[in-house]
Chains A and B, each alone.
Chain A
């Protein structure tokens, strides 16, 4: 298993600003993922963040809008840049320890006003 800590748990931000979300895992994992969950909807994969390489983004998501860092095997950040109200969502970090299922953090509830 894996225990994931996400910060902040929630935030209210002004449009045009940026927010960096942190994800800390209690064990070393190769694969980390970032998801977005818009209000009342399912989860959508934003990108895969593996240590030592550039993040891989899914269709509809770009690095300029959602830059990701992965400095080591226990930590990652996702930045939501130049925010607009449409970015209001829950952002979730997920890890997949070797040969197990995916574990999720509690999520960061972002409201852009």
Chain B
């Protein structure tokens, strides 16, 4: 898996702008990918997921893109709001509901500027 650095990358965007958070995953056998949002002092909260047989999935204000060729995952957040400020993690596993646990990416700290 990926090595974990001491500091999370930071992305700062203006309120109302769109943001794109990127993640490189490590295991080509992973079948299921999830984005989590973690606010300060809280556990990770599910945002959106995608299976490996898809390359795009949309939710409310969020879109996840999956590029299996280069093992890359991205999260797009439209019209960012102050409540979107948090750390965002991608996670991968073998299958949804599987018994293998999750492998998390490094995380990105999203800061929404007023």
Whether B104 contacts A43 by the Cβ 8 Å rule is: yes
Whether B107 contacts A42 by the Cβ 8 Å rule is: yes
Provide the bound-state CA to CA distance between A42 and B88, in Å.
10
Contact residues of B with A, CB < 8 Å? 4-8, 34, 36, 41-46, 49, 89, 91, 96-107
Contact residues of A with B, CB < 8 Å? 4, 31, 33, 40-45, 48, 50, 58, 92, 94, 96-107, 109
Provide the bound-state CA to CA distance between A86 and B1, in Å.
22
Provide the bound-state CA to CA distance between A82 and B7, in Å.
28
Whether A101 contacts B45 by the Cβ 8 Å rule is: no
- The smallest C-beta distance from A70 to any residue of chain B, in angstroms, reads 13
Q: A102-B91, A106-B43 are in contact. List 4 more A-B contacts (CB 8 A).
A: A41-B4, A43-B44, A48-B101, A98-B97
